[in-house]
Structure 1
């Protein structure tokens, strides 16, 4: 006959098992009940919700004025005054209000179940781009996704994990830094490649990563192209002597070439992967529209950023001591010299969710 202590231990173990089974059933029911149970973000700062806060890099926004219009006015590593596209995608799809960074040690099971962000500000397709700023290369982001997948399987089982990943949407935003941080800023790649050769080099890498995500179970992928890079405030400043403060058309042509190649790459992949749904999100056109018709989108300033003088301030150069920072970021397209304001991200995400994402459902 069991002692009272032994009985209590048995009941405790049984109760724990019941809780674990019930919790797992809840997780499975959640996955099966959602048209889009989760989203994932891969790529650069346009999606990074704070992964760079947990690595040794200067490319982060964990200090004011970044995050000043975020909830409780707390900087989170997002390179904006508030939310990013990542957050608006998650919110717009009815998944959750904010998309957490995968490297956050405070992640909970429910966070894993509904998707995370693997993006890293400052990174690119070219490993050299990530190395320049000591950020997370894309290959490492995919390794993190493999790690994540094992954690998910531990929560709901391998079969349900595969189902969730199959129905999730994978957003990719990458390529900007390969040109503005690497190719046009440093001589290494320019000595090796023409612009067209470098574009082909990047797209070959993109194809490899794209196929790898597909082989890991991704069947719904949204590809975000690069903006008109020569119209970023920092590029207007760097080329101001030649373009008199206007957009740098040489860099814009490189962006156009990359986007054309990216669109062609997607077209070439579709026949090879019939079960794969791909949406091409034309970030470039939307930014161009904002610049051409700012009043239509209730914007006043499109050539300069809100932070500081709006001409060169970015990451650590955009801080709480930076003078001249604007009082109302909602009237600006850019918050710092590369990254958009929360309002701009909200407008862009709304268009993508209405116009493009339904193609994946």
Structure 2
């Protein structure tokens, strides 16, 4: 019964998101890159301590399963895919049991604890964001083995790539202290540029530029653990300039900071169901021994670092209404 109720709640929430939207751009698949905001379970298959494949994580996921998602339920990865009519859940690419049927509609390459700065990931033995496009090449090869060359090219070129990262860099990388904040902003932005170019031309060594991803949603650093207004401003200014240098690309800024402001401050004043903006449903990084709050939907934070499914749902709605339409 609990499984059915959780699944029904997810389906109803996604239906509510979809029903509030105007016609959205159509994508063949979704490809997810970044950190724990989007990781649907890749860290389960890495030799790292940065994992959430244990209770009480996933307590509101269908079946109450701890899948490796750092929240009480599904993530924005899943919600964006569902809201766009692509699929309900985005599987982790590193899962050795990943089914070929999942490849057609996309997978997740994100790794919790990672960042654009390789030092951030190295300290935690997770998959750096800058290495994730290499796995895209592996995915594309496997996809084409299933659907054929031409169809594989069509799926990749028509996909939506999503990358949200940077928070861990601002907190954990030693390079930030070496360079200073302003110079470190510029360092990260150079990495964002390299990452986007790698996605657009992930077969560059084979001179197959035409097969690269074209639609990329790039998130700013949301005020969850650190404020980065200078970086966010520079990122927003960078993307249009970069797009002009990359013919055929469509780069859209995902304003996660504004989305959270909308969810938290404006939503709270309008009587949102999220009433606890300061507390945590499961304080710290939840251990298996911890007992979380009864109703996570009332909380902004699930644990110390990550929002609840309820917050992700509202942020995703904002992105679908305000940022995704810019791909049209």
TM-score category (smaller protein): 0.7 to 0.9
**Paired residues, number:** 293
Deviations 1:130-189 (Å, cap 9, x if unpaired)? 01111001232111111111111111222221111111100010101001222xxxxx32
Q: Tell me, yes or no, if the aligned pair for 2:130 and 2:191 is still in contact at 8 Å.
A: no
Using the TM superposition, give the Cα deviation of residue 191 of structure 1 relative to its aligned residue in structure 2, in angstroms.
4.3
- 2:3 matched residue in structure 1: none
Q: Tell me, yes or no, if the aligned pair for 1:67 and 1:80 is still in contact at 8 Å.
A: yes
Q: Is 1:132 equivalent to 2:107 in the alignment?
A: no
Q: Work out the CA distance in 2 between the residues paired with 1:57 and 1:79.
A: 15
Q: Work out the CA distance in 2 between the residues paired with 1:174 and 1:60.
A: 17
- 1:319 matched residue in structure 2: 287
Using the TM superposition, give the Cα deviation of residue 292 of structure 1 relative to its aligned residue in structure 2, in angstroms.
2.2
Q: CA RMSD in A?
A: 1.5
- 1:302 matched residue in structure 2: 277
- 1:210 matched residue in structure 2: 196
Out of 269, 285, 289, the residue aligned to residue 262 of structure 2 is 289
Q: Is 1:87 equivalent to 2:58 in the alignment?
A: no
Q: Secondary structure at the match of 1:266?
A: helix
Instruction: Find the structure with the greater CA-based Rg.
Output: 1
Q: Tell me, yes or no, if the aligned pair for 1:173 and 1:225 is still in contact at 8 Å.
A: yes
Shift in CA distance, 78/272, structure 1 to aligned 2, threshold 3 Å: same
Q: Work out the CA distance in 2 between the residues paired with 1:135 and 1:336.
A: 20
Q: Secondary structure at the match of 1:114?
A: coil
Q: Secondary structure at the match of 2:315?
A: helix
In the alignment, structure 2 segments of 5+ residues that lack a partner are 1-24, 203-211
Q: Work out the CA distance in 1 between the residues paired with 2:191 and 2:177.
A: 19
Q: Tell me, yes or no, if the aligned pair for 1:225 and 1:280 is still in contact at 8 Å.
A: yes
Q: Tell me, yes or no, if the aligned pair for 2:217 and 2:251 is still in contact at 8 Å.
A: yes
In the alignment, structure 1 segments of 5+ residues that lack a partner are 1-33, 183-187, 233-250
Shift in CA distance, 352/191, structure 1 to aligned 2, threshold 3 Å: closer
1:195-344 matches, cutoff 5 A: 195-216=181-202, 217-229=212-224, 232=225, 251-252=226-227, 255-293=228-266, 294-296=268-270, 297-308=272-283, 313-314=284-285, 318-322=286-290, 325-344=292-311
Structure 2 length-normalised TM: 0.86
- 1:141 matched residue in structure 2: 132
Out of 63, 69, 72, the residue aligned to residue 72 of structure 1 is 63
Q: What stretches of structure 1 move > 6 A for 4+ residues in a row?
A: none
Q: Is 1:52 equivalent to 2:23 in the alignment?
A: no
Q: Work out the CA distance in 2 between the residues paired with 1:161 and 1:290.
A: 38
